[in-house]
A and B are shown apart, each in its own frame.
Chain A
Amino acid sequence: MSQNDGNNAYWDANVRLILISLVVWAVVSFGFGIILRPMLSGIPVGGTDLGFWFAQQGSIIIFLILIFFYAWRMNKLDQQHGVDEE
């Protein structure tokens, strides 16, 4: 039973981390890149605005950071909960 509880805590922590990461994923692409672009139009970036930069560059860079952050956090979580690969 205790093994099972430990796994549930591990899984809940994982799901929480995924949800946070997906919020960031959605905000930079659908948010800054598309829906919120009119609100960012006041911030000029090289002949256009910040929203254009997020749509063509920024979101890709944030995606990259997100995946590496998730991998790093999860590998630590695996160890904390004793479910890492021996």
Chain B
Amino acid sequence: MDQFTLNLLFVGASFALYIGIAVWARAGSTSEFYAAGRGVHPVTNGMATAADWMSAASFISMAGLIAFTGYDNSSFLMGWTGGYVLLALLLAPYLRKFGKFTVSEFIGDRFYSKTARMVAVICLLVASITYVIGQMQGVGIAFGRFLEIDAFWGLLIGSCVVFAYAVFGGMKGVTYTQVAQYCVLITAYTIPAVFISLQLTGNPIPALGLFGEHTASGEPLLAKLDAIVTDLGFKEYTAAHGSTINMVLFTLSLMIGTAGLPHVIMRFFTVPKVSDARWSAGWTLVFIALLYLTAPAVGAMARLNISELMWPNGTDAVAVSVEQIENDPEYAWMATWQKTGLLGWEDKNGDGHIQYYNDQNADLQAKAEANGWEGNELTNFNRDILVLANPEIASLPGWVIGLVAAGGLAAALSTAAGLLLAISSAVSHDLLKGQLTPNMSEKSELLAARISMAAAIVVAVILGLNPPGFAAQTVALAFGLAAASIFPALMMGIFSTRINNVGAVAGMLAGLVVTLVYIFLHKGWFFIPDTNMFTDADPLLGPVKSTSFGAVGALVNFIVAYVVSGITKETPQEIKDLVQSVRIPRGAGTAVDGH
């Protein structure tokens, strides 16, 4: 069976499974559509939340981000998992006790303010829509590479599948497909990693192999990797190169942002009890950790493999030849990926060999001059291909490649569905039911939820096909907004009775504005190129890059909310009672009533 048929088989089978689940899990009420009837087992919810959270970025990009910078990008590992500690301790149980359907609804009720609810809705919509663009692009890339169809048809097929289970099944359909998608993506991620770890270190567990011995050289794997990358003129893999303050703030911003992302928080509305919400956060992290503990190993091992493929005997010997790249089966992946435009090489000095090195490094420049190299010849090397090309680079069997194709699609589709659900519930529940047409019956609200979901899918496909030029920058925006506006508002709403309506709105707006302005100052106003006054290489505030500013924005939010609440009218008694009731698990079942 050829590779294309294998890929088609794996992707087709996984899609058939998702549609099967869609038919089985249709939503009949708003409670089922928004919160899966609050009957999801904590372990099941943990698995679904893990798939909801782990996006195309986690599956495809993260290992590459770590591979090319090493220790410095550990922030992603700690930040994207540490947020679950905040979620489990500070938000999830209380929001489950509150027992409504959307994050903005809690903010609106707790701060007895429609303005507060609308500010939250706007942050939610901006964060979720920017986030969904990336997922749609991920779907396009995976389809383009593995099924050789162009992005338009790939996105169309992908969105029809999402349509089938998200529009009809709502949260209920999404939950059970996410469970299936988690199983597909974790298998797809782990199997190649185990093979590669065995090849390089003899240890079947990648997380242990990373700190094990490189069998071929007998040295520790990471020491070997440090030696290889410095030989090519790159920075030492395990050493710290950036500013400590920026790394701390970046990690903290990712943590707070993770805990404040509405599509993740709303998954905790689906479990039956408050104690289940606590356990469920733990299970979520178990399932996420299976991938996140493996990712740094995947990154390091892929970097080692690629460097050795390009320089089989180090830079003192000859580099790989063009003839080898074109004919040797071990290098066949390079031609495959060249077609996607994510990999490219050019024999600049015409010596028939491809020299891959850091041509900005003084030592290597001297070496290049001595050997007649004329610059780095691996001219295009997109770090996103590391995970997708990993099985091919390590010469693994064809079915593993098919599995990775299905896994990448599962990661992108499951996150897209979660985001679309957050968007549609904000539109139908917060904007329509909460603001414009409060007297809407449950039946019409359910219809409105389905229509807004369908509309959101159409918008996501259009944006995925024509991604705005700033798409890559917007991840910082999504995390910045969640960290600076949503997380502090939720936390203060639970942990302080003192914060009132005016304080909360002032805090959210202050956090939002400073974060937006700081991002725009560095990335350009509204992301328009060349309108930036600073760059992340030389930021406005010492070492604080715009991607690390979310934590500062959150701090501004806390301070402003506290100060403004102190000089304005006290919170009414019934709101204090509401906060007291949210703090106590007893009576969680009854809180659902009234809907």
Q: Which residues of A contact B (CB under 8 A)?
A: 7, 10-11, 14-15, 18, 21-22, 25, 29-30, 33-35, 37, 45-49, 52-53, 55-57, 59-61, 63-64, 66-68, 70-71, 74-75, 78, 82-86
Contacts and interface: CB of A to CB of B under 8 A. Distances in A.
Contact of B275 (A34, A57, A78, A82): A78
B41 to A, nearest CB: 15
Interface stretch (B51-59, B77-85, B260-268, B306-314): B77-85
B444 interface: no
Contact of B212 (A37, A46, A70): A46
A63 B586 CA distance: 27
Given A47-B226, A85-B275, 13 more contacts: A21-B89, A49-B238, A56-B71, A57-B207, A57-B296, A59-B77, A60-B289, A60-B292, A67-B85, A67-B285, A68-B282, A85-B587, A86-B586
B145 interface: no
B16 interface: no
Nearest to B252: A30
Given A47-B226, A64-B282, A56 B74 contact: yes
Contacts of A71: 88, 275, 278-279, 281-282
Contacts of A52: 71, 74, 222, 238
Contacts of A82: 586
Contacts of A59: 77-78, 81-82
Find the residue from A7, A33, A67 having the highest chain B CB count within 10 A: A67
A36 B491 CA distance: 29
A61 B93 CA distance: 22
Given A52-B238, A56-B296, A71-B278, A85 B77 contact: no
A68 to B, nearest CB: 5
Contacts of A67: 84-85, 88-89, 278, 281-282, 285
A68 B274 CA distance: 14
Contacts of A83: 584-586
Nearest to B237: A48
Contacts of B207: 57
B557 to A, nearest CB: 18
A interface: dominant SS: helix
B7 interface: no
Interface stretch (B152-160, B183-191, B243-251, B504-512): B243-251
Contact of A48 (B89, B238, B275, B585): B238
Nearest to B584: A83
A66 B82 CA distance: 10
Contacts of B88: 67, 70-71
A40 B88 CA distance: 29
B interface: dominant SS: helix
Contacts of B443: none
B132 to A, nearest CB: 27
Contacts of B241: none
Contacts of B540: none
Q: Top 8 A-B pairs ranked by shortest CB distance?
A: A47-B220, A46-B211, A47-B222, A55-B74, A47-B223, A71-B278, A67-B282, A48-B238
Contacts of B528: none
Contacts of B589: 85
B319 interface: no
Nearest to A70: B89
B275 A29 contact: no
Contacts of B286: 64
B147 interface: no
B255 to A, nearest CB: 8
Find the residue from B85, B224, B240 having the highest chain A CB count within 10 A: B85
B122 interface: no
B492 to A, nearest CB: 14
Given A48-B222, A56-B74, A67-B85, A35 B244 contact: yes
A47 B78 contact: no
Interface in B361-406: none
A7 B221 contact: no
B235 interface: no
Contacts of B586: 78, 82-86
Contacts of A22: 85, 89
A64 B289 contact: yes
B125 interface: no
A46 B210 contact: yes
A34 B279 CA distance: 29
Contacts of A25: 82, 85
Given A22-B89, A75-B278, A34 B247 contact: yes
A63 B85 contact: yes
A38 B129 CA distance: 41
